[in-house]
Structure 1
Amino acid sequence: MSETDAVPQPEPKVLLLVDGSSYLYRAYHAMPDLRAVPGDPTSAATGAIRGMINMLQKLRRDIRADYAACVFDAPGKTFRDEVFPDYKATRSPMPDDLRAQIEPIHEVVRLLGWKVLNVPGVEADDVIGTLACMATQRGLVTVISSGDKDLSQLVNEHVTVIDTMNDRKRDMTGVEVEFGVPPRLMVDYQTLVGDSVDNVPGVDKVGPKTAVKLLKEFGSLDNLIERAHEVKGAVGENLRKALDWLPKGRHLLTVRTDCDLKDHIPGFPELEDIVIGGQDVEKLKEFYERFGFKGLVKQLEEHAVPPELLEEHAKAGRARPVPIQRGGYEEPDLSGLSQATTLHYETIFTWEQFETWLGRIEAAALVALDTETDSLDEMLARIVGLSFSTEPGLAAYIPLSHDYQGAPDQLPREEVLQRLKPWLENPDKHKLGQHVKYDRHVFANHGIEVRGYVHDTMLESYVLEVHKPHGLASLAERHLGRTGIDYETVAGKGASQIGFNQVPIDKAAEYSCEDSDQTLDVHLALWPKLENDRKLRFIYDLEMECSEVLFRIERNGVLIDAQALAQQGNELGNRIMQLEREAHELAGQPFNLGSPKQIGEVFFVKLGLPVVKKTASGAPSTDEEVLEKLAEDYPLPAKILEHRGLSKLKGTYTDKLPQMQHPRTGRVHTHYAQAVAVTGRLSSNDPNLQNIPVRTAEGRRIREAFVAPPGSRIASADYSQIELRIMAHISEDEALLRAFRENMDVHRATASEVFGVGLDQVSSEQRRYAKVINFGLIYGMSSFGLARNLGIETAAAKSYIDRYFQRYPGVKQYMDETRLSAKSKGYVETVFGRRLYLPEINSPNGPRRGSAERQAINAPMQGTAADLIKLAMVKVQQVLDAQQRRTKMIMQVHDELVFEVPEDEVEWLRVEIPRIMAGVAELRVPLLAEIGVGANWEEAH
């Protein structure tokens, strides 16, 4: 069987093991002194119980498992106490108020659907080790949740330990990064260091660093014992004193993987008795009420399906199974009715149905809303139909303008929208959507300004899992295990695809209702992961606010001078033809300047130019990097580069922008993609206003065509050296901090440090070098890259970098620590807590891993810059609204905000906008925003 014919292998099943003893102590110390009867000092403490519930619920939301057990230490002695009577002798006894919570904790863990294990005579670690070993033998993946480093010795390619309290992942790489040795040597490492918590001595004066050094030198504890005579100094003397103890110490610290668990898990070593179960909702409610957990009672009640809906589900003619467990949303147990809920999707054709549903959405705490339209162009799209979902499994579709032959009568669109308008524009009626910015535009096209959008599942996913797809189909499959109807199924594909107004209403209703239903379900799965995480919640709230501001920026659009663009296009066309003639003359023959094959023949066959690099197929490459290298010595590659640049400028901007003017507004309206870049930066497209090449005079002239209407000006506000300022803040390097705090020219200051000259003696060439070094190191540039950029020898570049790090040691420390942290966690964070994932950070492929390491250094700065400009956008818009200013934001480009400002507000803007932008966050260095004003965008710089 060929590789392409291979049968896809199913994902391995997952065993989730919780170190319950570790959890309950953490819960006890982490939670306040809660009481079963609040305010009653004589009432039993409940903090550990509540903390345990919280941690287990979060864990179950975060990890989808097939088998699960929560393992506790049983009271009484174990074999370790017999081997070593002083084992754990220094531990304080369990506090009485914690001891009183043990039995209720066991009870609620069972009610939450977990198998509870506490095996007499066997420690929890040994039970976990045995289960993990059995799971590996049966092809399962095991995830152990614990803060105990002892369990790191169990880690292998099938077993991972996670520490949820410290957001730490101990896989094979994570263990080595954290402790300095691979998992297979963890027992040896612990034996040398000892375990003060369990009162197990190690080798006197041997700490973690010495233990790592010894194990790296000798390879294992056995080898070290055998060659102890070779170890010099006090370490060797202490090691030899401990030789008789070390075997016993290792025996005490080794987690067992061969315990007999038959009496506690029927059928062991099979694991069917610990299949993860559903919650016992009724008994949980009784338990929560008994211990005064009113919030948890309310949570259960909010997630319950109302009786009238159950009746509707039972009567529904078209039902589809939905799993009870939906990611983070715990469906009530409906086993008395069926093994799954049913879906009730309704199509609204009458005003009576409409009024029933209007009452339902008016009463609902949160409504998922979806539009079906006749265009993907958000400025032109008109509504074909609407769907709503108010409860999981319950949705309705209102067809409004399906106009195929034989389509049934539908409610009039404008009248339906007018009746819905009060609810749509009420900010207190909370709404949810998938990519709500698009739906805002669609409603705005009908004169409705929707308020009350409080959630967007696309943005929830973007904040939680930026490195994964954020489309609704992907989210539903990933978090709910639900697959749905795709657009091509209802509308066809390719040339035969029809508009949504031509889709039969029965198919359209099912498709749209499913979208609303899945959106609500996905939200219920994702929101608990965001709700109580302070940092991620901040980023999510920022993204939601930013979405609304971007909607307004897109709606505003920007005025362009089509005549100026046409004139520039003609000039570019003439220059392009001239370059083509000049290139033909240099080649001695005509050829297609857009054909890599013909360019290769001219370069390497006819002219004999040197081959810089080859393509994957072995042919000489003519890509841009090669052309730039050859252009240093030969005129023809330089002509082709200029020809390419001007052709792109003409095709993308001077010819295309006038065609993109909106027929109603006469303006160009770009689209800002908010959930694309992993750094949090926005992406502009149709047209892309962020990639206008401004390093050339021709590129800058494009910006001259972005103009203000009569009576207004264009203003540009730009953060100054923002990523360098963020580097100073993150690294806390004193020299870099001082340069910004004292308002120095930071590149001149760097040149002074690196070249060892006074500030007033720095030459323009030295400042240029320093600028390249400053920005290059932010992007993780190597000495080779710096050498190529500056046109110097690699050794000289390395010397500059070494001197830079000597002068700015905080920067070097930040880079080293960031690489290690990224390898351990798999992600880095911005200053504000945005997570930037690096899937290749531990790749065995060297170039990929190196690229990820460079990203790890730069991403926190790029991401923080993205957060800052978003904070600025939101704050500026709030001020504009509060003061009822007529100034409008019309573009966001990298670290720059562009405004259309009435002439009588120009002076206010010059003062206030830089002040607002500089004040959106307090870093260890001051933020600085600079502003320019002109008749067009280029003049404003």
Structure 2
Amino acid sequence: MPNLTLIDGSSYLYRAFHALPPLSNAQGEPTGALFGVVNMLRTTLKAKPDYVAFVSDASGPTFRNVLYEKYKANRPPMPDDLRAQIEPMLQIVGALGFPILRVSGVEADDVIGTLATQAHEHGVDVLISTGDKDLAQLVRPGITLVNTMTNTTMDSAAVMEKFGVKPEQIIDFLSLTGDTVDNVPGVPKCGPKTAAKWLAEYGSLDGVMAHADKVGGKIGEYLREALPALPLSRQLVTIKIDVPLDFTVQQLALRERDIEALRELYTRYEFKAALKELDSATAEVVTTPSPATAPVVVEPARIDTSKPSVDLAAQGQYELVTTQAQFDAWLARLHDAPLIAFDTETTSLDAMRADVVGISFSVQPGYACYIPLAHDYPGAPAQLPRDKVLAALKPILEDPRRPKVGQHAKYDMNILSHYGIVVQGLAHDTMLESYVWNATATRHDMDSLAKKYLGYDTVKYEEVAGKGAKQISFSQVDLDTACRYAAEDADITLRLHHALWPQLEGEPKLRKVYEDIEIPLVPVLASMEQRGVLIDVNELRKQSQHLGKRMHELQQEAWKSAGRDFNLDSPKQLQAILFDELGLPAKLKTPTGQPSTNEEALEAIAEEHALPRLILDYRGLAKLRSTYTEKLAEIVNPRTGRVHTSYHQGAVATGRISSTDPNLQNIPVRTEEGRRIRQAFIAPEGWLVMAADYSQIELRIMAHLSGDEGLLRAFHEGGDIHRATAAEVFGLEPEAVTSNQRRAAKAINFGLMYGMSAFGLARQLGIDRGEASDYMARYFSRYPGVHAFMEATRERAHRDGYVETLFGRRLYLENLKSRNQAFRAGAERAAVNAPMQGTAADIIKRAMIAVAAWLKDRDDAHMLMQVHDELVFEIRADTVDTVRDTIRQHMSGAAELQVPLVVDVGVGKNWDEAH
């Protein structure tokens, strides 16, 4: 049976543009989208279709604009980089022999729909190559969709699996969900799940409209309000299958390729693989001539000359700078450069203990230098004096008017601070560009980013310095090898910026997160890391002794409970006692099928015997002792006499800051022993510790985002929010609420944000599942806005693939489409929680930036630590009132919510007293 392949050209171009980095050729012409289209067309040719057409939108309005003047009115203008690639795309498509179809007055989808229907009626199998969901309405036996980017096909069964409706229901499905991109109205807040549910129940859009009065809740109100506009939505999403065409399917045979034109185009745009395939005899495609196709309307190309002229995946040219003349030449380049990429090489990953070994710069992609300063291996060549080089670089590095870019630049800023250099003018950080663009797409180290966004394999540290016990310091690496590695770091940093920054520029909300939150935070965190926190080592020793004594007592109790002595640190011995000798149920298994003795497994059986709880308590104390009371004393920096943590901006997908060495986020505050550790965090003589903590910030954000009147009212009235919730849920006056009822309300308040089920609530409160379900039902009946927000967020996540914080930060959730139900459920829980947790992260970052700006010219207060929703300072004792009030004001003003942002502030001689 003959077959026809219809290529959705507009879909091809946009998908390639957004999926690939913004590459350019040697002339600076953008080529990223063009490269993707050519590769997809080559894939299509390999299938050797009998008939084929490349269908693209014609310029000018369509009949849908006549129907609805606001149709596609919200679409942003086509990016210049994309517009510039349309003409060369059409030239290549034509040279490959594809008939090009652009019909005025209709969209490409309508031409595809008409041709697919005609071909199907004449017994021709149709394959529609697209990524557009709207075309799913055309699917039927003999008409299939293919996505060449993901190499997946969609038949009727796949449509049902993806959308939850049959192909013949897709029009009604799209009418209900609407389309924000095309400005199709639909039903507000109606996501894919809701639309599929209604269509399963009522059969069609007409059926849904006829039964609109039976749909309850807020979504029912939205449906009834949308009824007058739904027929219009149906007209807008319906693909025409009767467009008058002056050609037939039989005229869509592949024409003979124009080999010389292709060779010229591939050479110009530097498509090496395509050029090699073209010149290979085995790549020749036999074609038959065909009549001229419909006229092609081409928009004028515009070239962005600001793009780099180097292939971002090509090998770079690097200069080893060892003479004054070379250094002077590079100083001149740095003075004139519009953007300076810089990187340091050091003796250690610990920025507060490391010494600089060399520094590298790049001001043009593909070219970089390395200036060695302290390589000291036997026979090392002479190097420029470190102090003289750094003194010459200091005015440039400290000039805020000279923009700079780094990869994890905070580390380099800390290194240079040891030499009296305060780096200013950090305009970009490629780690943060990648993190804000898509936090979960990849790791954000240079090696991973270069591979993903440039297709470039970097020189690895182990390749130049060795690994394991044989690894040498970078100061021992020979200069030529060091140059190849270090200069590449600066070069790749600049290349990554050219690949990532245009992506952020095209997304205003993401750009704002990057420019207003992440980049300004870098020097703030650097300053906090450099300051460090004072530790009372003697107090830690006392605590360590106390923990050791308590662990010994728990060991004796555990032996008594088990009926014999055993090694509490041996999972194998514990396994034998718990499950073989005591006969306790093994509720969790290890990957090898053995009964697990991890924390979750022990918690599951802690109510059935005393021993599991004793082991859990013992392990908790052992972790406190090894991680904090013993380790903190060991990592006091001899240079400063303080402990310096490392803060990480690009580690947590929701935007939260994390810390390591030591991890300040994990010091427990719910146990007496955990709180006691905070007593060792002290202030110098004449100073005090101040802790400022947001009160119930995620609940307040939930109230703001959901707009629930009851929750908003509870926060505006002040008082105990959990008691107020309990009063609502149980229908009592606040003073009549019992402690157990308040505890249940608190568990629901916090549990819902993390997707807690009735089963989880029942386990936490020690009640049966039915009672827990009743609690949750009462909660949602009193706070319907919360439930509506959670459902709408889940549906939005399924529709868009991501959720957003109040400030526009995105969290992508790939597992929403997983076939594994547990993965899917976990992604849905994350979708509900991420807007709260991410917004809380954004708020405290904004607060840190504001507070740091206020403290910049003061010497009576320093910001030391950020832990969850808390900021910790050391303040001079005589300025407590001024500092406390102003910091509270800045923190409360870090966001405008519908409820007040309350900040609890405490002051004391140590962190525990202040908290």
Q: Which residue in 2 is equivalent to 1:463?
A: 436
Distance of aligned partners of 1:740 and 1:217 in 2 relative to their CA distance in 1, 3 Å threshold? closer
Structure 2 CA distance for aligned equivalents of residues 617 and 831 of structure 1: 44
Distance of aligned partners of 1:777 and 1:458 in 2 relative to their CA distance in 1, 3 Å threshold? same
Q: How does 1:565-584 map to 2 (within 5 A)?
A: 565-584=540-559
Structure 1 CA distance for aligned equivalents of residues 178 and 341 of structure 2: 56
Taking structure 1 as the reference length, what is the TM-score of the superposition?
0.75
Q: Which residue type is aligned with residue 748 of structure 2?
A: I
Whether 1:71 and 2:56 are equivalent positions in the alignment is yes
Task: Check the 8 A contact 2:339/2:404 in 1, yes or no.
Answer: yes
**Secondary structure in structure 2 of the residue aligned to 1:362:** helix
Whether 1:649 and 2:632 are equivalent positions in the alignment is no
Taking structure 2 as the reference length, what is the TM-score of the superposition?
0.77
How many residues align? The count is: 789
Q: Which residue in 2 is equivalent to 1:36?
A: none
Q: Which residue in 1 is equivalent to 2:147?
A: 159
Structure 1 CA distance for aligned equivalents of residues 469 and 727 of structure 2: 64
Distance of aligned partners of 1:497 and 1:142 in 2 relative to their CA distance in 1, 3 Å threshold? farther
- Which residue among 778, 794, 816 is the counterpart of 2:791? 816
Structure 2 CA distance for aligned equivalents of residues 125 and 220 of structure 1: 23
Whether 1:622 and 2:597 are equivalent positions in the alignment is yes
Task: Check the 8 A contact 1:424/1:451 in 2, yes or no.
Answer: yes
- Which residue among 146, 167, 170 is the counterpart of 1:186? 170
**Secondary structure in structure 2 of the residue aligned to 1:898:** strand
Cα distance per residue 1:803-848 (max 9 Å; x no partner): 1111100000011111111111111100000001111112110111
Q: Which residue in 2 is equivalent to 1:832?
A: 807
| Structure 1 residue 632, shift from structure 2 partner | 2.4
Q: Which residue type is aligned with residue 649 of structure 2?
A: Q
| Structure 1 residue 112, shift from structure 2 partner | 5.4
Structure 2 CA distance for aligned equivalents of residues 940 and 349 of structure 1: 53
Q: Which residue in 1 is equivalent to 2:241?
A: 252
Structure 1 CA distance for aligned equivalents of residues 116 and 661 of structure 2: 53
Distance of aligned partners of 1:131 and 1:451 in 2 relative to their CA distance in 1, 3 Å threshold? farther
| Structure 1 residue 212, shift from structure 2 partner | 6.4
| Structure 1 residue 480, shift from structure 2 partner | 1.5
Structure 2 CA distance for aligned equivalents of residues 259 and 445 of structure 1: 75
Task: Check the 8 A contact 2:562/2:577 in 1, yes or no.
Answer: yes
Q: How does 1:837-856 map to 2 (within 5 A)?
A: 837-856=812-831
| Structure 1 residue 469, shift from structure 2 partner | 1.2
Task: Check the 8 A contact 2:404/2:427 in 1, yes or no.
Answer: yes
Distance of aligned partners of 1:273 and 1:177 in 2 relative to their CA distance in 1, 3 Å threshold? farther
Structure 2 CA distance for aligned equivalents of residues 174 and 877 of structure 1: 54
Task: Check the 8 A contact 1:74/1:118 in 2, yes or no.
Answer: no
Q: Which residue in 1 is equivalent to 2:9?
A: 17
- Which residue among 66, 82, 101 is the counterpart of 1:118? 101
Structure 1 CA distance for aligned equivalents of residues 834 and 742 of structure 2: 25
Q: Which residue in 2 is equivalent to 1:745?
A: 720
Whether 1:905 and 2:890 are equivalent positions in the alignment is no
Structure 1 CA distance for aligned equivalents of residues 580 and 194 of structure 2: 62
Q: Which residue in 2 is equivalent to 1:233?
A: none
Distance of aligned partners of 1:274 and 1:139 in 2 relative to their CA distance in 1, 3 Å threshold? farther
Task: Check the 8 A contact 2:84/2:300 in 1, yes or no.
Answer: no
Percent identical residues: 48
Q: How does 1:849-864 map to 2 (within 5 A)?
A: 849-864=824-839
RMSD (Å), alpha carbons: 4.6
**Secondary structure in structure 2 of the residue aligned to 1:687:** coil
Distance of aligned partners of 1:363 and 1:934 in 2 relative to their CA distance in 1, 3 Å threshold? same
**Secondary structure in structure 2 of the residue aligned to 1:66:** helix
Q: Which residue type is aligned with residue 773 of structure 1?
A: I
Whether 1:896 and 2:881 are equivalent positions in the alignment is no
Q: Which residue in 1 is equivalent to 2:255?
A: 266
Q: How does 1:286-325 map to 2 (within 5 A)?
A: 299-300=304-305, 302-303=306-307, 305=309, 323=311
Structure 1 CA distance for aligned equivalents of residues 470 and 499 of structure 2: 37
Structure 1 CA distance for aligned equivalents of residues 850 and 430 of structure 2: 24
Distance of aligned partners of 1:742 and 1:509 in 2 relative to their CA distance in 1, 3 Å threshold? same
| Structure 1 residue 906, shift from structure 2 partner | 0.7
Q: How does 1:757-768 map to 2 (within 5 A)?
A: 757-768=732-743
Cα distance per residue 1:498-556 (max 9 Å; x no partner): 11111111111111111111111110011011124221112112111111111011111
Cα distance per residue 1:84-141 (max 9 Å; x no partner): xxx989659999xxxxx99x9999654454557435699622555699999xx99999
Q: Which residue in 1 is equivalent to 2:456?
A: 482
Q: Which residue in 2 is equivalent to 1:677?
A: 652
Task: Check the 8 A contact 2:34/2:85 in 1, yes or no.
Answer: no
**Secondary structure in structure 2 of the residue aligned to 1:559:** strand
Task: Check the 8 A contact 2:127/2:145 in 1, yes or no.
Answer: no
Q: Which runs of 5+ in 2 are unaligned?
A: 1-5, 16-28, 42-53, 72-76, 94-99, 183-191, 206-234, 271-298
Q: Which residue in 2 is equivalent to 1:502?
A: 476
- Which residue among 768, 772, 792 is the counterpart of 2:767? 792
Q: Which residue type is aligned with residue 18 of structure 1?
A: S
Task: Check the 8 A contact 1:113/1:276 in 2, yes or no.
Answer: no
Structure 1 CA distance for aligned equivalents of residues 899 and 829 of structure 2: 24
Distance of aligned partners of 1:178 and 1:634 in 2 relative to their CA distance in 1, 3 Å threshold? closer
Cα distance per residue 1:302-333 (max 9 Å; x no partner): 3365xxxxxxxxxxxxxxxx74x76xxxxxxx
Q: Which residue type is aligned with residue 364 of structure 1?
A: A
Cα distance per residue 1:562-610 (max 9 Å; x no partner): 0011011111111212221222222222111011111121122222333
| Structure 1 residue 493, shift from structure 2 partner | 1.3
Whether 1:352 and 2:291 are equivalent positions in the alignment is no
Distance of aligned partners of 1:157 and 1:280 in 2 relative to their CA distance in 1, 3 Å threshold? closer
Q: How does 1:20-419 map to 2 (within 5 A)?
A: 60=33, 66-67=39-40, 71-73=56-58, 110-111=86-87, 113-115=89-91, 117-119=100-102, 124-125=108-109, 142-144=129-131, 149=134, 153=138, 158-159=146-147, 181-183=165-167, 185-186=169-170, 216=200, 252=241, 260=249, 266-267=255-256, 299-300=304-305, 302-303=306-307, 305=309, 323=311, 343-419=316-392
Structure 2 CA distance for aligned equivalents of residues 615 and 344 of structure 1: 51
Distance of aligned partners of 1:809 and 1:193 in 2 relative to their CA distance in 1, 3 Å threshold? closer
- Which residue among 403, 415, 422 is the counterpart of 1:449? 422
| Structure 1 residue 448, shift from structure 2 partner | 1.2
| Structure 1 residue 351, shift from structure 2 partner | 0.4
**Secondary structure in structure 2 of the residue aligned to 1:631:** coil
Task: Check the 8 A contact 1:19/1:124 in 2, yes or no.
Answer: no
Q: Which residue in 2 is equivalent to 1:39?
A: none
- Which residue among 725, 728, 736 is the counterpart of 2:703? 728
**Secondary structure in structure 1 of the residue aligned to 2:856:** helix
Task: Check the 8 A contact 2:110/2:239 in 1, yes or no.
Answer: no
Q: Which residue in 2 is equivalent to 1:232?
A: none
Q: Which residue type is aligned with residue 17 of structure 1?
A: G
Q: Which residue type is aligned with residue 759 of structure 2?
A: F
Task: Check the 8 A contact 2:357/2:373 in 1, yes or no.
Answer: yes
By relative contact order (CA 8 Å, sep 6+), the higher-ranking structure is: 2
